[in-house]
Amino acid sequence: MADPLATLPAHAMAVNIEKEQTIYAEGSPAEFCYRIVCGCVRMVKLMEDGRRQVLEFLLPGDLLGFDALGTYDLSAEAVSPVVLHRYRRSVVEHLADGDPAIARRLRVLSAAGLRSAWERMMLLGRKTAVERIASFLLEMTARMPSGGRGGVLLPMGRLDIADHLGLTMETVCRVLSSLRQEGTIGMDRSVNGPQVTIRDPAGLQALACAARH
């Protein structure tokens, strides 16, 4: 079945964003929404004490800003160089008013966002550091294209991963090193970032699911 949002590019403007640039800031007027063409975007919430929480990493095909009401609830930042399709929210809302399929698809996307939030609450509230990192690696392997030899190129650094999983960077480094030494994963450096190869998928899956037992 064709995606009803596939017609939106006709109303889009292509936007290039450099690495580490802000696409939009938390609290700013929600005038635009976006679809990622290439690159990786992190969704960030700043806490009152200045610490940040990386709520989500978005990849090609993902949408952002569609569920904002008046102002953006989160900041969107480019983890890597990013190409976006940008749409005026007023145009998208007008299209949704005239096309039930588009309106229904946008509701589905909002529901998916809520489901992701619940899954994240379980990840942070019930899992150990090893389980969180194992779950994250499996998720990225499923969502990202292979970088060769069965690995994936992770555009985000260890600090981003730590702030996403509610861990310290030292803990992330220690767990990744342990997984590599045990032969569960392989890690190689490349000009585009670390390439992670899952050498023992069953073992990594067992670590990720350990909290369920």
**DSSP assignment string, 163-180:** HHHT--HHHHHHHHHHHH
Q: Indicate which CATH number applies to the domain containing 40.
A: 2.60.120.10
Quick one: 109 and 16 in the same domain?
yes
Question: Hey, what are 141's tokens?
Answer: 């392997």
* Tens digits of residue pLDDT in 93-129: 787 788 788 778 777 776 666 666 666 666 666 789 9
Quick one: 119 and 134 in the same domain?
no
- Residue 32 and residue 194: Cα distance in Å, rounded? 32
Helices (H), the chain: 89-98, 100-126, 129-143, 158-165, 169-181, 201-208
- Output the pLDDT for position 9: 64
Quick one: 93 and 134 in the same domain?
no
145: pLDDT strictly greater than 80: no
Quick one: 165 and 64 in the same domain?
no
Quick one: 148 and 195 in the same domain?
yes
* Tens digits of residue pLDDT in 153-179: 889 989 999 999 999 999 999 999 999
Quick one: 50 and 99 in the same domain?
yes
Band (212; pLDDT cuts 50, 70, 90): very low
Kindly report the pTM of this predicted structure.
0.84
Q: Which of 72, 102, 124 is the last residue of a domain?
A: 124
Q: Which of 106, 124, 142 is the last residue of a domain?
A: 124
Quick one: 107 and 138 in the same domain?
no
Quick one: 45 and 149 in the same domain?
no
Q: Indicate which CATH number applies to the domain containing 190.
A: 1.10.10.10
Q: Which of 63, 91, 124 is the last residue of a domain?
A: 124
Which domain does 114 fall in, by range? 4-124
Question: Hey, what are 68's tokens?
Answer: 């904002």
- CA angle, corner 96, sides to 94 and 102, nearest 5? 150
Contact in structure between 74 and 90 (CB atoms under 8 Å):
no
Number of domains in the chain: 2
- Residue 114 and residue 116: Cα distance in Å, rounded? 5
- Residue 52 and residue 160: Cα distance in Å, rounded? 10
Quick one: 84 and 161 in the same domain?
no
- Residue 97 and residue 100: Cα distance in Å, rounded? 7
Quick one: 82 and 94 in the same domain?
yes
Quick one: 111 and 161 in the same domain?
no
- Output the pLDDT for position 100: 82
